[in-house]
Amino acid sequence: MKFSTREDVEVPIDQAFALICDFDAYERSAMRRGAEVRRMDDMTKPGVGMKWAASFKMRGKKRDLEMEMIRFERPNEICVLSSTSGIDGTGQIELLALSRNRTRVSVVFELKPTNLSARLLVQSLKLAKNSLTKRYKLRVAEYAKSIEDRHQS
């Protein structure tokens, strides 16, 4: 199951990429929402090989998630592979400079079930694909707005 959307931001590509690469902020945000997040590597600069382990409660059940940076091409692309019980996910952010001060941010997220129960879950998600796509696009639009806001401040 695949979700994709794109947003244009009034931020130069290099600065947009730097704002997107603020992984410490993502960790803090997840912790504020009740997740436990641990960095599994000792890298000092963002790049391929960064790893995280997270656990959180979703629908009353504890979930464990592992994430690894598999592609990091400054200033154009970031790709993260994630896996949890029965579902592998790939998140990809691509940036394209439209002008000196404008950047297109494309965000693609794909879920792939790896066992029968996960297949059933993904199949049920497909029934709600339209509403999930609307929520996904709204969240990406909010994120793009936050990139612009952080750039201006």
Q: Which of 120, 127, 139 is nearest to 4 (CA)?
A: 139
CATH class as words, domain 2-152: alpha beta
Q: Where exactly are the structural domains of the chain?
A: 2-152
Q: What is the pLDDT of residues 65-111, one digit of tens each?
A: 999 999 999 999 999 999 998 999 999 999 999 999 999 999 999 99
Q: What is the pLDDT of residues 126-145, one digit of tens each?
A: 999 999 999 999 999 999 99
pTM of the shown model: 0.90
